[in-house]
Amino acid sequence: MTIKLTTKPLSTPLSRRNLLKAGAATAAGLAAPSFFVRNAWAAGKTMQIGIWGGVQGEFIRKQVLPSFEKEFDCKVDAQQGSTLGQIALLRAGKDAPKFTVMFVDDLGVEIAKREGLIDPLPRDKMPNLAKVYPRFIYNDGYGVALAISSAGLFYNPQATKPLESYAELWDPRFARKVSLVGTKTTPSVFTVIIAAAIATGKPYKEAQYLADQAWPKLKELKPNVLNLYSTDDAPLLVAQGQGAIGGPEYSKYVYPYKLKGASIDMCFPKEGAFTGVNCQILVKNAPNADLGAEFMNRMLDPAIQQGLAETALAAPAVSGLSFKPEIAGLLAYPESKMDELGLFSPDWAYVNSVRSSWIENLNQIFTA
């Protein structure tokens, strides 16, 4: 039996060009998810950033970087450090920057801008900036907050009631019961401003420029000072009975102990609370600056801000978030609550210029 094969003519002539078109169409149907196409410009790039340590740094490493690296098919090398250490790295690399994004406190934004170490925030590439409370965009758009702590006094409720005024620290009932923040950390400058405010009766906004009035007042405080601390576990030691009260200190270092059941709480005397603001900045002439802008925008995403706030117990910089009551009670949030606490941020341009002399005077008074 003979089988006869018949064929129909091709509707489209077979050619190298048509074969290529067909192959491209097939490849498009099997393409990777759309975000890989959209972010192809970032594929294979490596970006170096400076972040914080502690629970904030851990959150970023575990909850932010993996998804960001996957979405942009890139590698982010995160190095942790403190504000002044980060500034030192920027100075060392000024002529040939290695870092793209740096996390610093608000005092560091002023230093970095003044020394020409950073570029303005790329607003056109950071749409989430529109969600940030305006008060938390710093130095004419050169830095933006990520987390805000309120600084006040921590105390053991079994040893004392909360203070209504900082002036009570000088009361004889606190003889050798005050754990005072040491000079290695930023809140030590709050000590000077507080003393000047008590000595002069002026609000912080004016008292910060009247440090000469603070030194005699601080000498009078010395009999009440048990120790100068420099570690984050100072609140726990007070909770365990070493002294009755301490600070001034950031809430993010105190409230975690409270949540774990320690006999510790915070009070914010009538003179007002201070702010401790963690910020991000874009390094001047940074490598992979576009990728840096994407990362900075990601850090301001409401979901990231929510998670960071709940993890670090520090208020978010963006509006419109809500928290469970047990968390909300520990945060200076929303903006109306910040106003109720009288949150004050020093004039860092001025304070940075005199800080070394302040630290020297504090050391002479309390360590001599």
pLDDT confidence bin for 37, thresholds 50/70/90: low
**For the chain, where do the domains classified as CATH 3.40.190.10 start and end?**
3-147+277-328, 149-275+332-366
| Position with higher pLDDT, 237 vs 7 | 237
- Report the alpha-carbon distance of residue 91 to residue 115 in Å, rounded: 8
Class of domain 3-147+277-328: alpha beta
Most confident residue range from 5-14, 17-26, 31-40, 193-202: 193-202
What long-range pairs does 329-332 form, CB within 8 A, spacing at least 24? Answer: 330/251, 330/255, 330/258, 330/259, 332/148, 332/149, 332/150, 332/251, 332/273, 332/275
% of the chain beyond a pLDDT of 70: 90
Closest alpha carbon to 149 in 324, 5, 323, 345? 345
pLDDT in tens, 245-304: 999 999 999 999 999 999 999 999 999 999 999 999 999 999 999 999 999 999 999 999
Token pair for residue 27? 């490849």
Answer whether residue 327 shows pLDDT above 60: yes
> Whole-model pTM?
0.85
pLDDT tens, 76-107? 999 999 999 999 999 999 999 999 999 999 99
**What residues contact residue 7 under an 8 Å CB cut-off, 6+ apart?**
none
Q: Is the pLDDT of residue 6 over 80?
A: no
Q: Which fold has domain 149-275+332-366?
A: D-Maltodextrin-Binding Protein; domain 2 (3.40.190)
**Position 28 confidence tier, pLDDT thresholds 50, 70, 90:** very low
Is the pLDDT reported for residue 75 higher than 80?
A: yes
